[in-house]
C-alpha cells in the first residue's frame, strides 16, 4: 500500500514538473527575450513556408510548440547544405532532408520563440530543391 502512495506522489510531481517545464519553454513571458530587430515577417501572408530538419519534424513537438495539431508537412530537400548535429552549413554538393511546414504568422512567432531567435538560432530564407522559398533556422 505504501509503495502505491509513493508511486502516486512521484507521478504527480513528475506531471507538475513536466507541465511547468512545457509552460516555461513554450508559453511563459520569462526566460527568453526576443531580439530588438527580429527577422521580418510579412503579416499579410496567411501561410509561411518553414523548412525543418530536426525536432520540429515530429508532430508532437510541432503541436506543443505551435499550439496547432493540424500543421501539415511534406518531405523537402535543401541542396547546398549539410547537417551538423543541430545546425546546417553551406556545402557544395550537400543535401539536407527535412520537411516543409506551412504555418500562420502566430505559429511562426511561436517557432521563433522555440528556436530562441537571436540567442541560439537565426531565421534565414533559403530556396529548396523544388524551387520553393522557405525559412530555415540556423545556429548562431
Give me the domain span that covers residue 60: 32-139
Report pLDDT digits (tens) over 87-138.
999 999 999 999 999 999 889 988 998 888 888 899 999 999 999 999 999 9
Q: Is 38 inside a domain boundary?
A: yes
Quote the pTM value. Answer: 0.79
Tell me how far apart the alpha carbons of residues 130 and 132 are, in angstroms, rounded to a whole number: 6
CATH number, position 109: 3.10.490.10
Q: Is 118 inside a domain boundary?
A: yes
DSSP class of 117: B
* Overall domain count for the chain: 1
Q: Is 80 inside a domain boundary?
A: yes
CB–CB of 138/122 below 8 Å? yes
Q: Is 12 inside a domain boundary?
A: no
Tell me how far apart the alpha carbons of residues 88 and 122 are, in angstroms, rounded to a whole number: 12
Q: Is 23 inside a domain boundary?
A: no
1 confidence band (pLDDT: 50, 70, 90) = low
Question: What 3-state class would DSSP assign to 6?
Answer: helix
Q: Is 6 inside a domain boundary?
A: no
Q: Is 45 inside a domain boundary?
A: yes
Amino acid at each position: 500500500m505504501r509503495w502505491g502512495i509513493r508511486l502516486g506522489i512521484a507521478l504527480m510531481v513528475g506531471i507538475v514538473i513536466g507541465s511547468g517545464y512545457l509552460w516555461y519553454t513554450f508559453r511563459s513571458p520569462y526566460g527568453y527575450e526576443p531580439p530588438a530587430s527580429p527577422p521580418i515577417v510579412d503579416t499579410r501572408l496567411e501561410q509561411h513556408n518553414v523548412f525543418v530538419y530536426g525536432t520540429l519534424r515530429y508532430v508532437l513537438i510541432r503541436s506543443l510548440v505551435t499550439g496547432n495539431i493540424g500543421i501539415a508537412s511534406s518531405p523537402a530537400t535543401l541542396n547546398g547544405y549539410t547537417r551538423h548535429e543541430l545546425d546546417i552549413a553551406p556545402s557544395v554538393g550537400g543535401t539536407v532532408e527535412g520537411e516543409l511546414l506551412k504555418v500562420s504568422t502566430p505559429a511562426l512567432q511561436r517557432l521563433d520563440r522555440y528556436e530562441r531567435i537571436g540567442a541560439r538560432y537565426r531565421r534565414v530564407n533559403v530556396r529548396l530543391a523544388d524551387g520553393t522559398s522557405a525559412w530555415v533556422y540556423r545556429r548562431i
